Amino acid sequence: NRQPMIAIDGPAGAGKSTVARKVAEVLGLFYLDTGAMYRALTWFILKSGVDLGDEPTVAELASQCQIDFVNTPSPSVFVNGEDVTQAIRTPEVTARVSAIAAQGAVRAVLVRQQQHYGQRGGIVIDGRDIGTHVFPDAEVKIFLTASIAERARRRQVDLKNLGQSDVTLGDLERAIAERDRQDSTRAISPLRKADDAIEIKSDNLTIEEVLGAIVTLYQAKT
């Protein structure tokens, strides 16, 4: 027996984590960023120096990678006790995470942790396969998208705010398109909209509008 939950899936840079975090705050739910888990494991594997294509060794490392989320004083991610909140957002990790996330043994380990984390419900979970695979019985399923141009534009604004103003829109569009391609063409749990998910295309919507729509859908289920 569990509380209702919200699954938010969609392509890279659609604003899932921003929206999911706010939805959780407004509704008093837990929040789980599954992309951060794949990123944390990718960071751990890059640090270890093993060949990313060596699946048995990567699987072994996955079982040694303890990922923890801490919310105070600010939302942070830890790997085996080390704060990796910033380190998992570098272009190096971003460019390689899809290759790690395509491996069956990696997904088996992380999906089991996600299902355990969400077993009581009362949670917002974002990722690529939450509504299709991790929690196919989620009460509210959202597929959040935006055009590649809009996603690249938003990412450029985020990067500028972090002091990185040297990245072109073209480079961002290519990186986003490549990650979408890898995530939606992989054999295991590829990115796709669940049949019963509600698609929200956010190009012309504010964060508050997307937030309001999801909160209303959840309240209708409780």
Chain residues in the site for ligand C5P (CB under 6 A): 12, 34-35, 38-39, 97-98, 101, 127-130, 179, 183
> Which of 86/219 has CB closer to ligand C5P?
86
> Which of 1/74 has CB closer to ligand C5P?
74
- Minimal distance, residue 101 CB to ligand C5P, in Å: 3
Euclidean distance between CA atoms 166 and 204, whole angstroms: 26
Euclidean distance between CA atoms 55 and 100, whole angstroms: 9
- Minimal distance, residue 91 CB to ligand C5P, in Å: 13
- Minimal distance, residue 88 CB to ligand C5P, in Å: 8
> Which of 173/183 has CB closer to ligand C5P?
183
> Which of 28/187 has CB closer to ligand C5P?
187
User: What CA–CA distances, in Å, run from 220 to 1, 216, 217?
Assistant: 19, 6, 5
- Minimal distance, residue 218 CB to ligand C5P, in Å: 20
> Which of 6/97 has CB closer to ligand C5P?
97
